[in-house]
Chains A and B, each alone.
Chain A
Amino acid sequence: MKLTGIREAYGETLAALGELYPEIVVLDADLSGSTKTSLFAKKFPDRFFNMGVAEQNLMGTAAGLAASGKTVFASTFAIFASGRAWEQVRYSIVYNQLNVKIVASHGGVTVGEDGGSHQSSEDIAIMRVLPGMRVIVPMDGKEMQEVIKTVVKIPGPFYIRSSRVKFPLILGDDYKFELGKGKILREGKDLSLIGCGLMVSQCLEAAETLAKEGIAARVVSLSTIKPIDEELLVDCSLNTGGIVTAEEHSVIGGLGSAVAEVLSEKSPTYIVRVGVQDKFGVSGSAPDLLEYLGLTPGNIVKAAQQIMEHRSQKTIPVV
């Protein structure tokens, strides 16, 4: 499968949009080479501000720029954008509904070798809890391009997760991103595999394996985690029965939690969450970490089998 760079897609799209939107300014915290805002910086040095290793000030400055009419893209690693500067994001930016797009690279555990200090398995949870924040986790480079082109036109705050590693290319050239809408990538009547980011391609791979076992899995990309596509989730519940969620994030507070929140109220069904099981990451290569933390197509297959096995009973056994 062809791989696409997520952060490269962000950097290139942003640099291209700089021509069309003179009001765009970009901030980074000494990681512009990694987040790829360096591409914008090179083209528009006057509209790029490196804030140094100071994420709280990065977010506050972004708020001030936005309050004066700028469209601000603020980038650093996900753990620092969401974690270190959480309260600045909350009060300086989101409370005021200011026009700041936080595009946070190195999301999830595929940061890899740097280890637990730099991995981010909590960002989706702590960003989506903020009132009025929109949270997007693109599934491939094509979607990242479309997301950036879309959010530049929508006022207000966004948290968009970018990635160190390249993701398999899933979408075609004609793909158009729609905020708040999930997308059915493969039909199936037995259950639904719902993923975001890198885990969408893992879901597609899992669906292939399940098909060989005679299980027809629907695959849904839920790239917008907030606002969430309730209609599609209810449809998955009613028309496919069980649901497996898959995310490169803690199972606490992320995509799986968001899906469970909707369906437990609107259309209860079996949900098994594949994700980081309440633990910190460690150093290792990205593929080794996905294996170690249980984020492989095999883990998704296992979760699907669990649902198929127990759906006729009232409960899935506690292990």
Chain B
Amino acid sequence: MLDTVQIEKLESLAKTIRVDILKMLNNASSGHTGGSLSTVEIILSLYFHKMRHNPKDPKWLDRDRFVLSKGHGAPALYTVLARSGYFDLSELRNLRKLGSILQGHPDMKVTPGIDISTGSLGQGLSMANGMALALKLDKRPSRVYVLMGDGENQEGQIWEAAMAAAHYKLDNVCGIIDHNGLQIDGPVNEIMKIEPIADKWSCFGWEVFRVNGHDFREIIAALDKAETVKNKPSLIVARTIKGKGVSFFEGKVEYHGIPPTDEELAKALVELGIT
């Protein structure tokens, strides 16, 4: 359990991360605003609390792994990696620029701390399963966390992988769905209904938890519980708000794939308490 001081620290960090994300997206003039902001508390909970990792030794064999299957949320991950110390914060200014270590979607070849490249939706859970199988073969205690989008659950490969993780009893896999309810063309359940999503995963043999994806206490409690589940993988359905933290981005489908303008950035920073 976390005490109030720890929670306050994480909450303050979340605000910093949101500011970083908005600035880097504005600077890059492209990228995914809504789906980056919705993941902040989840990714922070992992890197600043739950996961065993070492920014000084990104390839440490006993580290926990993280797969951002919804690779378009890269700005949130990059910011958290930079704030963890994997690379200098100044790199954030180079997002999506030619020659940058920060590609539009996570790239293990160029970015310290990225365990595997993602961005083509639906592929992350399979790769996470592969890592988990290897860790079990090598008798390593590490866990593999994989963050998926809710729209991403429309990909068939996700369900192939969901079946396989349960079949091979991969209790070192913990999936998390950033369930913000929106995808590029509109509300997820209008484009292609995924509900009842928790029941589906449960039917596939996963232990399912539901949390408020912006509440550190709930996220971390679920991550702790998932760690105690044996012989089956765990899934956390994290209810989130797309664009979370900036009132005029929240719940707005049109901010899926566009960055904030200079004016929007200025207004957003005021909302986040930066003047």
Q: A25-B137, A61-B126, A67-B108 are in contact. Are A88 and B157 (CB under 8 A)?
A: yes
User: Cβ of A61 and Cβ of B116 under 8 Å apart?
Assistant: no
Q: How far is the CB of B272 from chain A (nearest CB, A)?
A: 35
Chain A interface (Cβ < 8 Å from any Cβ of B): 25, 46-47, 49, 51-52, 54, 56-57, 59-70, 87-88, 91-92, 95-97
CA distance A16 to B163 in the complex (A): 31
Q: How far is the CB of B155 from chain A (nearest CB, A)?
A: 9
Give chain B's interface secondary structure class. helix
Whether B253 is near chain A, meaning CB under 8 Å from some CB there, is no
User: Cβ of B127 and Cβ of A67 under 8 Å apart?
Assistant: yes
Whether B134 is near chain A, meaning CB under 8 Å from some CB there, is yes
| A96 touches which of B117, B125, B128, B156 (Cβ 8 Å) | B117
12 A-B pairs with CB atoms under 8 Å apart are: A51-B160, A52-B163, A57-B157, A61-B133, A64-B128, A64-B134, A67-B108, A68-B135, A69-B134, A91-B119, A91-B123, A92-B117
User: Nearest chain-A residue to B129 (Cβ)?
Assistant: A61
Beyond known contacts A60-B123, A67-B131, A92-B117: 20 more, CB 8 A cutoff? A52-B163, A52-B167, A56-B123, A56-B157, A57-B157, A61-B126, A61-B130, A61-B161, A63-B116, A64-B116, A64-B131, A64-B132, A64-B133, A64-B134, A65-B134, A67-B115, A68-B131, A69-B134, A91-B117, A96-B117
CA distance A262 to B73 in the complex (A): 42
Whether B82 is near chain A, meaning CB under 8 Å from some CB there, is no
CA distance A61 to B160 in the complex (A): 11
Whether B28 is near chain A, meaning CB under 8 Å from some CB there, is no
Which residues 103-148 in B have Cβ within 8 Å of A in the complex? 108-109, 115-117, 119-120, 122-123, 125-135, 137-138
Whether B248 is near chain A, meaning CB under 8 Å from some CB there, is no
Whether B60 is near chain A, meaning CB under 8 Å from some CB there, is no
Whether B164 is near chain A, meaning CB under 8 Å from some CB there, is yes
Interface residues on B, range: 20 to 34
| B126 touches which of A64, A96, A97 (Cβ 8 Å) | A64
| A-B pairs with lowest CB-CB distance, top 3 | A64-B130, A60-B126, A68-B134
Which residues 71-126 in B have Cβ within 8 Å of A in the complex? 108-109, 115-117, 119-120, 122-123, 125-126
Q: A57-B161, A91-B117 are in contact. Are A64 and B129 (CB under 8 A)?
A: yes
User: Nearest chain-B residue to A87 (Cβ)?
Assistant: B120
CA distance A222 to B126 in the complex (A): 35
Q: How far is the CB of A24 from chain B (nearest CB, A)?
A: 11
CA distance A142 to B126 in the complex (A): 34
Q: How far is the CB of B157 from chain A (nearest CB, A)?
A: 4
Q: A49-B168, A67-B116, A91-B117 are in contact. Are A54 and B134 (CB under 8 A)?
A: no
For A25, A46, A68, A69, the residue with the greatest tally of chain B CB atoms inside 10 Å of its CB is A68
Q: How far is the CB of A102 from chain B (nearest CB, A)?
A: 14
User: Cβ of B130 and Cβ of A65 under 8 Å apart?
Assistant: yes
Q: How far is the CB of B169 from chain A (nearest CB, A)?
A: 12
User: Cβ of A54 and Cβ of B164 under 8 Å apart?
Assistant: yes
CA distance A56 to B129 in the complex (A): 13
Question: Please, which residues of chain A bring their CB within 8 A of the CB of B131?
Answer: 64-65, 67-68
Q: A52-B163, A67-B115, A88-B157 are in contact. Are A57 and B108 (CB under 8 A)?
A: no
Q: Mark B152-166, 1 if CB is under 8 A from A, else 0.
A: 000011001101100
Question: Please, which residues of chain A bring their CB within 8 A of the CB of B130?
Answer: 60-68
Question: Please, which residues of chain B bring their CB within 8 A of the CB of A95?
Answer: 117
Q: A56-B157, A57-B164 are in contact. Are A64 and B127 (CB under 8 A)?
A: yes
User: Nearest chain-B residue to A85 (Cβ)?
Assistant: B157
Q: How far is the CB of A55 from chain B (nearest CB, A)?
A: 9
